[in-house]
Amino acid sequence: MAVFLSTFLPDSDASSKLQVVDEGLDKLGTEAESSPYKLIGDADIKAILKPRKAFSHKGTYGHALIIAGETKTMGAALLCASGCLYAGAGLTTAAVPETGLTALNTVLPEVIYLDRKHLVNIKSLKKYNAIAIGPGLGKLLEAVCLVEELMVLKLPVIADADALNILSKREDLLFHLAKDSIFTPHLKEFDNLFGKHKSWWERLQTGRIMAKKLGAVIVLKNQYTFIIDQQGDVLINPTGNPAMAQGGMGDVLTGMIAAYVAQGYSAKAAAILGCYFHGKAGDELAENHCNITASQLAVEIPVTVKRFLNPVK
């Protein structure tokens, strides 16, 4: 029985009702038979996910940098760093305001602190395998300058929240991001970036165009999150549920994606793994919880991945 794109949209029109969704990312057949809309399945995750190796160490799993938070929004930075930590980055460093150092050391003692003034040293940033920027960052001059400096670096970034808001007002920066960067907007952030849309169908068409133009992966968040790759294919994530509808979930997801990039996954694979396990952890928690906090979800991530790798028979 054919599955249609309209199944995964909160609104739909005639165009989405005619679009068939392939089940699995590697459907066999001619190019003409293959749909640009693909539903991610367990088999796809098993093909992408690499189990941790014997004799590995923290250096094996990369070093991620989280640039996030300001004095009044340290929670977003902590949640993003926790997503990165629990998704398995070998090292996680957080560039947060000095006023947040006590909170960072108290809540996440495993995370390294980096003074923001060191971000101006472009050469020192090249040691990081992944850089995420935006959660709770604010839109003041310091935040804008940080985004500008990353453009000079020409390394892919994971851009979320306030970084997206800054890019939406600076087209010169948006189109100078390195290829294989990852954008993680929700509906309003997407429309701020790429213009107002009347429907989710319209957003997907714009997303396909812009992902190809930017050479980036766009993670358009919703009940069913859409991962739009650099070729314009739309990969539909099937995990997640309404119990996750609380603040901070996107911050954790951004950190998770950064962790997978740091571990050596491609931008597309990192987005797929991050979205899938983010939602799956939420699904498992929802079995016993009416609603879920972002902090709960972050802690659940390694448990969920372990269950996936070693299912109970």
Question: What is the residue-wise DSSP string for the chain?
Answer: --EEGGGG-SS--HHHHTPEEEESSS--S-TTT--SEEE--HHHHHHH--PPPTT--GGGG-EEEEE---TT-HHHHHHHHHHHHHTT-SEEEEE--GGGHHHHHHH-TTSEE--GGGGG-HHHHTT-SEEEE-TT--SSHHHHHHHHHHHHHT---EE-HHHHHHHHT-HHHHTTSPTT-EE---HHHHHHHH---SSHHHHHHHHHHHHHHHT-EEEE-SSS-EEE-TTS-EEEP----GGG-STTHHHHHHHHHHHHHHTT--HHHHHHHHHHHHHHHHHHHHTT-SS--HHHHHHHHHHHHHHHHS---
What are φ and ψ of residue 166, in 5° steps?
-65, -45
Query: 152 in a domain, yes or no?
Result: yes
29 assigned to some structural domain? no
Q: How much is the average pLDDT of 18-45? A: 84
Q: Is residue 119 part of a domain?
A: yes
Give 195 or 32, the one with higher predicted confidence: 195
Looking at 227-231, 294-298, 309-313, which range is the least confident one? 309-313
List the 91-95 sheet strands across, edge first. Answer: 3-4, 20-23, 37-39, 234-236, 226-228, 217-220, 182-183, 158-159, 130-133, 63-67, 91-95, 112-113
In a domain, 53, yes or no: no
- pLDDT, residue 31, reads 52
What is the rounded CA–CA span in Å between residue 202 and residue 187?
12
Measured distance CA(53)–CA(132) in Å, rounded:
25
pLDDT for 46-97, tens place per residue? Answer: 999 999 999 999 999 999 999 999 999 999 999 999 999 999 999 999 999 9
pLDDT at residue 18, rounded to an integer: 86
Average pLDDT of the residues in 182-209: 97
The answer as to whether 65 is a domain residue is yes
Domain contains 185 = yes
- The token pair at 8 is 């995964």
- Return d(Cα 303, Cα 305) in angstroms, integer: 6
Determine, yes or no, domain membership for 46: no
Q: What are phi and psi of 156, to 5 degrees?
A: -60, 145
For residue 78, the domain's CATH number is 3.40.1190.20
- Residue 33 has what pLDDT? 66
Report the alpha-carbon angle 87-39-179, nearest 5.
60
The reported pLDDT for the residue numbered 27 is: 62
Please say whether the beta carbons of 67 and 146 come within 8 A. yes
Better pLDDT: 27 or 179:
179
Q: 181 near 154, Cβ under 8 Å?
A: no
Question: How confident is residue 149, by pLDDT bands cut at 50, 70 and 90?
Answer: confident
pLDDT at residue 15 tops 90 = no
pLDDT tens, position by position, 101-124? 999 999 999 999 999 888 877 678
- Assess whether pLDDT exceeds 90 at residue 17: no
Distance CA 238, CA 8 (A): 9
Highest mean predicted confidence (pLDDT) among 136-145, 147-156, 184-193: 184-193
Average pLDDT over residues 7-13: 86
Pick 232 or 15 by higher pLDDT.
232
Q: Please give the residue range of the domain that contains residue 78.
A: 61-307
The reply to whether 100 falls in a domain is yes
Neighbours of 32 (CB within 10 A): 5
Tally of domains in the chain: 1
Q: Which two tokens stand for residue 31?
A: 């190019």
